[in-house]
Chain A
Amino acid sequence: MTREQKTRERWKFVESRETWKKLYEEQIDSNKEIFNRSGIPINPLYTPEDWEEQQYTERLGFPGQFPMTRGIYPSMHRGRTWSQRQLIGLGTPDDYNRRLKQLLNAGASAVSLIPCNSGFRGLDCDEVDSRLLGTCGTITNTIGDMEDCFRNVDIARLSTAMNDPSPFTLLAFLIGVANRRNIPLKNISGTSNQSDYISHFVANHMFFRLSLSGSRRMLLDHIEYCQKNLPYWNPISIVGQHMQQAGATPAEAMAFTLSTAIQYADDCIERGMEPDTFLPRFSFFFDISISIFEEVAKFRSGRRLWAQITRERFNAKDPRSWRFRFHGQTSGVDLTRQQPLNNIARVTAQAIAGIFGGLQSMHTDSYDEVISTPSEEASKIAVATQNILKEEARLCDVIDPLAGSYYVESLTDQMEDKICRTMKHIEDAGGMYKAVESGLVQTMIGESAKAFQEKVDNGEQKIIGVNCFQENQQMEANCSIDRPEPDLIDTHVAKFKRFKKERDQAKVNSALSSLQEAANSETKNVFEKVVDAAHADATHGEIIAVLRQELGFGEPLIVA
């Protein structure tokens, strides 16, 4: 283009823009400003003035290449689509085994294990009201329980994600099963979900079992142990999901997650680990809200930022260290109890955002999650939603298909700015560990949660069936609820008590005292002793009791 052509083009652009502006303002009833959930103003139209392609290679590049904006692998979803990882866990280990086999027969290879809420509190099944056992997860208190969970299932062929907060007893039990079956640990793959103690301290108090400093020590021991023994295990999954579910905006959730990842990387480096040895096994876990474009921009900017942070701040040379691998879960907060079948539409929209955001693994919520723990029928629809988007709507044909959209690129840049500002705030407060210890992050999340709720209350944020388009209450689906069979729970508890009576108590005592000793020494690896204690038939509750005594009890800081 000659200089003259350029001038003419520019003139035409400005002229048409002004004409459009005039007509737009005439036509629009109210020219009220619109903001997304992260507080970024949203224009009615985006043009090359909002995003220029000049910096394509530097800012976007190609999939699998720095700065990874367009995806972390060269083939992305065109090659391998995401893992469909639905959460499962209810009742006794036998119940889990039955459900697991159904999923495996249906073709699943990535599975999850959600333990019972009593486990999250650090208690064994004989320590709580039996009515609450197995209602939200599977009872897994011993190696024997874990063996029953995976009976006749080849654990070497699965990728298992376990909700397993510090001190990681479930992984210890799984290692025990592998040893009993003579399966080499290098064949075990999966993820320690809920290993991110900072997110628990801040936003998901139910997973917080040990003190903040105790959890910090445990996590590093666990990462070190896995590095040596389980090369295909992801010892850490950094979780933005809890914070967003607790009320953080999408930009805040991304900022807090990246700040947490920086904290863990700094801690590993201080332990003497080389960035390229642990960064490739870092993975992330996010909430996907229904704000489609905002979520896509959140994931694209987060991916770009992580590549920059790992390469520039941590000097990572291995491109695997730059990869922002993440699991996404559609947000339960967006679902409504009113007209619950509408939730299928909401989950579909959320899943689209996750797919276009370039995720590696996904859980889609069941429409009945606002009513009860998901029923089997509803979880089947949730999985089918993913398959429909993939096979029928063909969302995977093109890699990062929203790239180049003036809106999406401009929003990606603006989200990045917003994220960086929040990260700076955290950094100024001394990093994530200090910022949660002081309650700063908790206060920020609490304020955002309240601000969002106010928008719902005053009708600014419309929710169909809740504050508009309401229908009468009878429209609520009377969904079925699956509750564990009380007799089976009682039999399981009796079996557990018998096991405790019949095991070699001297062996248990000696393993628990070496665990105690390790926790008090500065150099011993505590997780290694957790594994040993599990082998010696110590139970989940006993292991946690010792560590709570030695490393401090987990009392989350609750900021009202």
Chain B
Amino acid sequence: MSMKENTFDYPPKVLVTKIGLDGHDRGSRIVAAYLRDAGMEVVYTSPWQKIEAVVRLALEEDVDVIGISSLATDHLIIPQLMGRLRHSGLEHIKVVVGGIIPAAEQANLIESGVSHVFHPGVSRELIVETFLKLTHESRNANENRP
């Protein structure tokens, strides 16, 4: 799926970030560049963001999708991020997690509301496609909000 086949009034806006304690950021930087090159507006942050800071940024920047990269167990606190997003009325924002996520712990993330989990080796096309699809879903959900 390319941007052309998608109709957006304005480009998808995504936040690419890392929460918790780890600083390995090769993955988040590469993904940010992929999304940017695919025509999306990317808000990128350095690692070690506090959950509150991510929620605030998502609200202020009005993003469609949040991409969280986790290479060293920081995914364990993602359910808290999901809770905070809901608490702040931002449940329409879709969250994608990428990195080292053990299969046994993936269910917990999905259950907490994460839309998709990417593992190492995923293709650039699939990443872009997923972010586009989720942008649609996010905007639809936002429009249909009570």
Residue positions of A touching B, CB distance < 8 A: 117-118, 120-121, 123, 128-129, 131-132, 135-136, 204-208, 245-247, 336-338, 370-373, 446, 449-450, 453, 457, 463, 465-467, 476, 478-479, 481, 555-556, 558, 560
| 15 other A-B residue contacts (CB within 8 Å) besides A132-B74, A453-B30, A479-B102 | A117-B72, A118-B21, A129-B77, A132-B76, A135-B73, A136-B72, A370-B100, A372-B102, A373-B72, A373-B73, A449-B26, A449-B30, A450-B33, A457-B123, A555-B46
B residues bordering A, Cβ < 8 Å? 20-26, 29-30, 32-33, 44, 46-48, 72-74, 76-77, 80, 100, 102-105, 119-121, 123-124
| Cα–Cα distance between A16 and B4 once the two chains are bound (Å) | 57
The verdict on A481 contacting B26 (CB below 8 Å), with A128-B21, A463-B121, A558-B46 known, is: no
Assess whether A132 is in contact with B29, with CB atoms less than 8 Å apart: no
Which A residues touch B80, using CB under 8 A?
A: 129
The B contact surface, by secondary structure, is loop
Per the bound structure, the CA–CA distance linking A288 and B9 in Å amounts to 48
Which 5 residue pairs across A and B have the least CB separation, nearest first? A206-B23, A117-B21, A205-B23, A135-B73, A466-B121
Q: Pick the contact of B46: A121, A205, A449, A453 (CB < 8 A).
A: A205
CB distance from A461 to the nearest CB of B (A): 12
Partner of A481, one of B29, B32, B104, B124: B104
Take A135-B72, A556-B46 as given contacts and tell me if A450 and B25 are in contact as well, using a CB distance cutoff of 8 Å: no
- The answer to whether A336 and B102 touch (CB under 8 A), given A136-B73, A205-B46, A246-B26, is no
Nearest Cβ distance between residue B138 and chain A, in whole angstroms?
24
Inter-chain contact count A-B, CB under 8 Å? 93
B21 touches which one: A132, A208, A247 (CB < 8 A)?
A: A132
Given A132-B20, A204-B23, A371-B100, A338-B121 contact (CB < 8 Å): yes
CA distance A555 to B123 in the complex (A): 31
Residues on B with C-beta less than 8 A from A372 are 100, 102
Residue in A closest to B120 when the chains form the complex, CB atoms: A337
Subset of 7 A-B contacts with CB under 8 Å: A373-B72, A373-B73, A449-B26, A457-B124, A481-B104, A481-B105, A556-B23
| Residues from chain A with Cβ under 8 Å of B102 in the complex | 371-372, 479, 481
Q: Are B120 and A336 in contact (CB under 8 A)?
A: yes
In the assembled complex, the Cα of A246 lies from the Cα of B103 at a distance in Å of 25
Q: Please give, as numbers and ranges, the residues of chain B lying within 8 Å of A476 by CB-CB distance.
A: 103
* Contact (Cβ within 8 A) B25 A558: yes
Q: Can you name the residue of chain A whose Cβ is closest to the Cβ of B16?
A: A560
In the complex formed, the residue of B with least CB distance to A208 is B23
| Closest Cβ neighbor of A458 among chain B residues | B124
Q: Shortest Cβ distance from A133 into chain B, in angstroms?
A: 9
Given contacts A457-B123, A560-B33, contact A120 B100 (CB under 8 A): no
Give A372 to B24 CA distance when docked, in angstroms.
15
Complex Cα distance, B46 from A370, in Å, reads 23
For the complex, give the distance between the alpha carbons of A465 and B120 in Å. Answer: 11
Report the minimum CB–CB distance from A122 to chain B (whole Å): 10
Of the listed residues B23, B29, B100, B119, the one surrounded by the most CB atoms of chain A closer than 10 A to its CB is B23
Taking the closest CB of chain A, its distance from the CB of B61, in whole angstroms, is 16
Closest Cβ–Cβ distance, residue A522 to chain B (whole Å): 31
A residues near B25, Cβ cutoff 8 Å = 205, 558
Roughly how many angstroms separate A467 CA and B104 CA in the complex, as a whole number?
25
Residues from chain B with a CB closer than 8 A to the CB of A132 are 20-21, 73-74, 76-77
- Minimal Cβ-Cβ distance residue in B for A465: B121
Q: Would A337 and B121 be within 8 Å (CB), given that A132-B74, A449-B26, A478-B104 are in contact?
A: yes
Contact B21 A478 (CB under 8 A): no
Q: How far is the CA of A239 from the CA of B12 in the complex (A)?
A: 39
Q: How far is the CA of A129 from the CA of B47 in the complex (A)?
A: 16
Beta-carbon nearest neighbor of B119 in chain A? A337
Nearest-neighbour CB distance to chain B for A503, whole angstroms, equals 26
CA distance A372 to B102 in the complex (A): 6
User: Are A450 and B121 in touch, CB under 8 angstroms?
Assistant: no
Query: Which of B22, B47, B124: most chain A CB closer than 10 A?
Result: B22
What's the minimum C-beta distance from B11 to chain A, rounded to whole angstroms? 17
